[in-house]
């Protein structure tokens, strides 16, 4: 019989477990403390639990932390971790140090269903959702976990296509009984699945990033099939009804493609559709992937695009490319090769 | 376009409808139907839930815009929530639906309609709506019995209906996957539109093949089931 994992359970779930096992109620808090605040590798190391309580737990559960299978290091300090998921599929996680800011980019699915034209992850198809435990494990099981300052849900998969587990992982990251991180240090990135977006905004305080990539319907449809059913104008309409710009931020990701979405027409239209939304735009250089018909805009074009958007009052920055030499940069995560072995 | 005075369902509003039929066409593939009381554009999807407050999923409409009944073709996802419950429902049972939505719509120009599995639904809807001039329909499946609507499609599309069967063969099918056909066929006009519908794996692979064979990516329109 496969034993269930304790790691990834919320306090409420843990309370149900200890009740079922007829352990004292306070044991739930002790266990979450061991799971999310201390560094142990086995239930037996939960030394403030009675020996009999540990035996009862061991009979049905394992701790559930998973070490990485492989680590690659970039010349710029970025590291890419390979983890094995519970379904024997692989996922990748990026650790991106930058002065005092240490960001982990977590995956939420093995592969992705969304089929964006510019993304490597989509080329491996979809192999499954990650559990909350597998999402949190990507932070908790890297060498640098104690120095992590920020988390971005921008790895493999579409977070809002696995919303229940993403929300649960956010609860673990931000609760006092969990990793106790501020939700203001966490950003969830989505292509914009409107019903799930509404639920995310209602149930979480984390920042939101939306993959925009073109302000024009016909272009965005070519790049991102999701535009067929959840068009960006509907996503923006929903965002307008929320209070962004103070405690909680919304940003728009914009990969720059040569001669496709980098013209004056695009600047004008972006200013038009984002008018009235307190937001920022992150411009991202495109990292070419195999069989792609797309090229990156030049550095000069990206810089000019940024300046013109800033001049129109939209705070615009250029995201530094990190970890490109180890395929850890934006849009390059893929575990297709590992799964073919 | 459908005509007549029909009740229009507002966006985000769930409407309770009674199933008029539920048939298992082949193993774990069902076709359900209910009375049409709204207008839609062929190619659009609706959200369906077996419960009023339950999770809902999007499904392409698989019937004509003027048909009396709305039909939905779906595959049972064993580990899923919605489809195992839907498959337990019978005539007269209720489901909850959303308004139709989506922009994967018919275009007048010459096009290839490429689908696998239940991804044939939007194309069948366009066909049932009388919209299939200049279209070549390619459908991929593992087994011949899973080419639903085959007789009707063959009668109307003639040589422009191609079945790609990966696990069985007969004289009327291409023996192999849809993607294999796209790799080997001599006839892929660059100025045609290519509509793709089905699972992400197929859509992404087919798109890459088409681009590799010289089709401009702005001539490829994709609808992904998720």
What ipTM, to 2 d.p.?
0.88
Q: pLDDT value at position A252?
A: 98
Same domain flag for B139 and B75: no
Count other C-beta atoms under 10 Å from residue A43's C-beta: 20
CATH of residue B31: 2.40.30.10
Percent of chain B beyond pLDDT 90? 86
**What is the pLDDT at residue B11?**
43
Q: Do the bridges between strand A90-98 and strand A101-105 make them parallel or antiparallel, or are there none, so unpaired?
A: antiparallel
Q: Which of A115, A221, A231 sits opposite B200 (nearest CB)?
A: A115
Residues B119 and B207 both lie in one domain: yes
Kindly state whether residues B141 and B177 are assigned to the same domain: yes
Instruction: Average the pLDDT over B54-73 and give the result.
Output: 95
Last residue of a domain, one of B97, B119, B134: B97
B208: which chain A residues are within 8 Å (Cβ-Cβ)? 123, 291
Give the one of A122, A221, A226 whose C-beta lies nearest to B204's C-beta: A122
B213 found inside a domain: yes
**Same domain for B128 and B26:** no
Average pLDDT over residues B176-185: 97
Domain extent at residue B124: 111-225
**Residue B106 forms part of a structural domain:** no
Of B39, B73, B97, the residue at which a domain comes to its end is: B97
Whether B20 and B89 map to the same domain: the answer is yes
State the residue for tokens 């000069």: A300
Mark whether B132 and B91 lie in a shared domain. Answer: no
User: B92 and B196, same structural domain?
Assistant: no
Is B30 among the domain residues?
A: yes
A330 is catalytic: yes
Whether residue B157 is contained in a domain is answered as yes
For residues B136 and B113, the answer to whether their CB atoms sit within 8 Å is: yes
Q: pLDDT at position A18, please?
A: 97
Q: What is the pLDDT of residues B28-51, one digit of tens each?
A: 999 999 999 999 999 999 999 999
Q: Is residue B8 one of the residues assigned to a domain? A: no
B121 lies in the same domain as B199: yes
Tokens at A97, concatenated? 């140090």
Residue B190 falls inside a structural domain: yes
Q: How many domains does chain B have?
A: 2
Rounded to whole angstroms, how far apart are CA atoms A131 and A8?
8
Co-location of B120 and B211 in the same domain: yes
Last residue in a domain, options B66, B97, B128: B97
Is B1 among the domain residues? no
Q: Please state the pTM of the whole predicted model.
A: 0.92
Q: Does residue A116 carry a catalytic annotation? A: no
Q: Do A125 and B201 touch (CB under 8 A)?
A: yes
How far apart, in whole angstroms, are the C-alpha atoms of residue A273 and residue A68? 42
Rounded Cα–Cα distance for residues B9 and B96 (Å): 12
Q: Are residues B79 and B132 in the same domain?
A: no
Chain B interface includes A114 (CB < 8 A): yes
pLDDT band with cut points at 50, 70 and 90 for residue B8: very low
What are the structure tokens assigned to A274, written together?
A: 């984002």
Domain co-membership, B124 together with B205: yes
Q: Which two tokens stand for residue B19?
A: 């199933």
Helix axes A264-273, A299-311, angle to 10 degrees: 40
- Using the beta-carbon criterion (under 8 Å), do A114 and B223 form an inter-chain contact? no
Q: Find the CB nearest B224 among A115, A123, A292.
A: A115
Q: Which of A246, A297, A288, A229 is nearest to A267 (CA)?
A: A297
Instruction: Say if A147 is an interface residue toward chain B (CB within 8 Å).
Output: no
Q: What is the mean pLDDT of residues B171-194?
A: 95
What is the predicted pLDDT for the residue at A254?
97
Averages of pLDDT over runs of 10 residues in chain A (341 residues) are 91 98 96 95 96 96 93 91 82 92 96 92 89 96 94 96 97 97 97 94 96 97 95 96 86 97 98 95 90 92 98 94 74 66 56
Strand A150-153 with A101-105, pairing: parallel
Closest CA to B70 of B13, B128, B26: B128
Residue A246: the pLDDT is: 74
A226: which chain B residues are within 8 Å (Cβ-Cβ)?
224
| Residue numbers in A near B45 (CB within 8 A) | 229
Residue B123 maps to which CATH number?
A: 3.40.50.80
Which two three-digit tokens encode residue A115?
């089929």
The confidence score (pLDDT) of residue A339 equals 61
Residue B93 has pLDDT above 60, yes or no: yes
pLDDT in tens, B110-126: 999 999 999 999 999 99
Whether B193 is covered by a domain: the verdict is: yes
Together in a domain, B77 and B115: no
pLDDT value at residue B54? 85
Q: Can you tell me the mean pLDDT for B204-212?
A: 95
pLDDT on residue A114: 95
Instruction: For chain A, list the domains and their CATH numbers.
Output: 4-62 (1.10.150.530), 70-340 (3.20.20.70)
């Amino acid at each position: 019989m496969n034993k269930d994992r304790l790691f990834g359970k919320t306090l409420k779930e843990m309370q149900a477990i200890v009740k079922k096992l007829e352990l004292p109620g306070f044991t739930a808090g002790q266990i979450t403390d061991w799971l999310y605040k201390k560094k142990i590798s086995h239930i037996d190391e939960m030394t403030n639990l009675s020996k009999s309580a540990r035996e009862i737990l061991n009979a049905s559960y394992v701790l559930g932390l998973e070490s990485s299978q492989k680590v690659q290091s970039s010349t710029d300090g970025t590291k890419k971790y390979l983890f094995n998921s519970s379904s024997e599929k692989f996922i990748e996680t990026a650790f991106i140090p930058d002065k005092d800011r240490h960001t982990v980019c977590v995956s939420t699915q093995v592969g992705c269903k969304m089929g964006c034209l510019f993304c490597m992850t989509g080329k491996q198809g979809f192999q499954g959702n990650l559990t909350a435990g597998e999402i949190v494990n990507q932070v908790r099981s890297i060498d640098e976990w104690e120095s992590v300052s920020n988390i971005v849900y921008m790895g493999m998969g579409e977070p809002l296509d696995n919303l229940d587990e993403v929300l649960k992982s956010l609860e673990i990251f931000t609760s006092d009984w969990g990793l106790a991180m501020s939700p203001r240090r966490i950003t969830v990135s989505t292509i914009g699945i409107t019903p799930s977006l509404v639920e995310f905004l209602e149930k979480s305080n984390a920042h939101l990033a939306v993959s925009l990539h073109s302000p024009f319907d016909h272009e965005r449809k070519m790049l991102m099939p999701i535009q067929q059913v959840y068009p960006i104008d509907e996503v923006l309409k929903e965002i307008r009804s929320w209070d962004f710009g103070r405690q909680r931020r919304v940003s728009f990701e914009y990969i720059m493609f040569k001669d496709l979405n980098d013209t004056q027409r695009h600047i004008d239209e972006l200013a038009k559709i984002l008018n009235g939304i307190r937001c920022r735009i992150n411009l991202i250089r495109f990292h070419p992937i195999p069989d792609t018909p797309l090229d990156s805009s030049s550095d000069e074009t990206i810089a000019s695009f940024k300046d013109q958007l800033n001049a129109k009052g939209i705070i615009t920055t250029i995201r530094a490319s990190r970890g490109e030499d180890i395929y850890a940069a934006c849009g390059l995560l893929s575990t297709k090769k590992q799964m073919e072995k | 376009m459908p005509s007549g005075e029909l009740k229009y369902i507002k966006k985000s509003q769930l409407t309770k409808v009674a199933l008029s039929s539920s048939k298992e066409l082949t193993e774990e593939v069902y076709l359900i139907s209910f009375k049409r009381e709204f207008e839609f554009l062929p190619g659009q999807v609706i959200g369906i839930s077996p419960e009023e407050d339950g999770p809902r999923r999007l499904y392409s409409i698989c019937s004509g815009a003027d048909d009396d009944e709305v039909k939905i073709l779906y595959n049972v996802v064993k580990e899923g929530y919605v489809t195992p419950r839907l498959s337990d429902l019978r005539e007269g049972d209720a489901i909850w639906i959303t308004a139709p939505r989506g922009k994967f719509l018919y275009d007048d120009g010459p096009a290839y309609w490429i689908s696998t599995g239940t991804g044939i639904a939007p194309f069948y809807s366009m066909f049932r709506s009388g919209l299939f001039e200049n279209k070549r329909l390619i459908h991929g499946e593992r087994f011949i019995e899973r080419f639903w609507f085959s007789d009707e499609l063959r009668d109307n599309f003639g040589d422009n209906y191609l079945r790609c069967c990966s696990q069985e063969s007969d004289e009327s099918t291409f023996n192999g996957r849809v993607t294999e056909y796209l790799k080997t066929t001599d006839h892929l006009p660059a100025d045609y539109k290519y509509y793709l519908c089905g699972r992400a794996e197929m859509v992404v692979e087919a798109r890459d093949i088409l681009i590799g064979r010289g089709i401009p990516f702005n001539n490829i329109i994709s609808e992904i089931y998720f």
